Amino acid sequence: MPQPRQLAETPSMTATVPRQLVHRAAVAETFLTGWNRTAADRFSVSAQWPRAHGLHVSADRSAYDPLLVVETVRQSGTLIAHTEYDVPLDHHFVLKEFEVTTSPQHLAVGAVPAELAVEVAFVDVQYRGRRPVGARYTADVLRGGERVATASNVVFTCTGEPVYRRLRGGRTPATVSPLPLPPALPAAVVGRALPADVVLAPTDRPDRWQLRVDTAHPVFFDHPLDHVPGMLLLEAVRQAVRAHTSGTRSAVAFHITFHRYAELDMPTWIEVASENGTDVQVVGRQGESAVFECAVGTARW
């Protein structure tokens, strides 16, 4: 069948990758548009960022949020794990560590959607038999030849459904009930335009907040989960820095280590543990245990 003229005369056309390859339910939350292998264990992933987004673009549509970089790098690793290392689509991924530094001067929203190249290197792949069960990778995010960000260390594990269910002790999205939402901080205090995007609730301490887990949020809970997602915990870190510095500083670099699952039916406490110059240490706790620890690099807002 001859190709329609309007397609035949178009030099190239782009669509997002299948959303299942990046563990997203919504096409609108899928930011990757393609990939290719460039060398052994090295890949180039293409991405596009929208000019408007409910969470990852500033309210005045002037700047992309650093957490959009994190999500793009996360999606890139997941895509490559499935397509190039044959991790089955039904496997669950658990993020263990993520270290990234962004360059805010390259995060401005332009006249067209931003086109990105994510240069990914898988530097350590763990196998059980012939099947990968985890990996460590790095990524450089480039925009028009300029380095937007460097992810110097990303570590994840992956496991099949039966093993995952044993690890989770029968917890599923259908059997775990999230806690009621506590009252939120004012949106302006955490640099958000909408109250629905505020993930921190005040406590009796100025350096400690309760995590607000809204399982109806269309970005953090793009699909049902049996635990608090890592991107929500990173947003809590981002907001804690803004609240702690009275809006004078913003998070531009993260080195987060996840110690265990954050459960939906237990309160999660977000604490500023220490501050040293422009660096802030944020810890998330449930009960007596640390869920995560995050070293945050900040820049003046």
Query: What is the model's pLDDT at position 224?
Result: 96
Do 192 and 218 belong together in one domain? yes
Query: What is the model's pLDDT at position 2?
Result: 46
User: Does residue 191 carry a pLDDT above 80?
Assistant: yes
**SS3 sequence, the chain?**
CCCCHHHHCCCCCCCCCCHHHHCCCCHHHCCEEEEEEEECCEEEEEEEECCCCCCCECCCCCEECHHHHHHHHHHHHHHHHHHHCCCCCCCEEEEEEEEEEECHHHCECCCCCEEEEEEEEEEEEEEECCEEEEEEEEEEEEECCEEEEEEEEEEEEEECHHHHHHHCCCCCCCCCCCCCCCCCCCHHHHCCCCHHHCCEEECCCCCEEEECCCCCCCCCCCCCCCCCCHHHHHHHHHHHHHHHCCCCEEEEEEEEEECCCCCCCCCCEEEEEEEECCEEEEEEEECCEEEEEEEEEEEEC
Answer with the one of 166, 187, 202 that is the final residue of a domain.
166
Residue predicted with more confidence, 301 or 140: 140
Query: What is the model's pLDDT at position 12?
Result: 59
**8 A C-beta contact, residue 189 and residue 127:** no
Do 216 and 108 belong together in one domain? no
Mean local confidence (pLDDT), 80-98:
97
Q: How many domains does the chain divide into? A: 2
User: Does residue 192 carry a pLDDT above 70?
Assistant: yes
In the chain, % of residues over pLDDT 90: 94
* pLDDT band, very low/low/confident/very high, at 14 (cuts 50, 70, 90): confident
Q: What is the pLDDT of residues 154-171, one digit of tens each?
A: 999 999 999 999 999 989
Nearest CA-CA partner of 228 in 265, 193, 259: 265
User: Does residue 135 carry a pLDDT above 80?
Assistant: yes
Query: What is the model's pLDDT at position 38?
Result: 98
Mean local confidence (pLDDT), 209-221:
97
* pLDDT band, very low/low/confident/very high, at 11 (cuts 50, 70, 90): low
Answer with the one of 108, 131, 166 that is the final residue of a domain.
166
Model pTM?
Answer: 0.94
Query: What Rg value do the Cα atoms of the chain yield, rounded?
Result: 19
Answer with the one of 166, 186, 218 that is the final residue of a domain.
166
Do 157 and 222 belong together in one domain? no
Do 191 and 153 belong together in one domain? no
Q: What is the CATH number of the domain that holds 228?
A: 3.10.129.10
Q: What is the pLDDT of residues 40-74, one digit of tens each?
A: 999 999 999 999 999 999 999 999 999 999 999 99
* pLDDT band, very low/low/confident/very high, at 178 (cuts 50, 70, 90): very high
Q: What is the pLDDT of residues 248-269, one digit of tens each?
A: 999 999 999 999 999 999 999 9
* pLDDT band, very low/low/confident/very high, at 8 (cuts 50, 70, 90): very low
* pLDDT band, very low/low/confident/very high, at 301 (cuts 50, 70, 90): confident
Mean local confidence (pLDDT), 191-202:
97
Do 12 and 36 belong together in one domain? yes
Give the range of the structural domain holding residue 177, as residue numbers without chain letter.
173-300
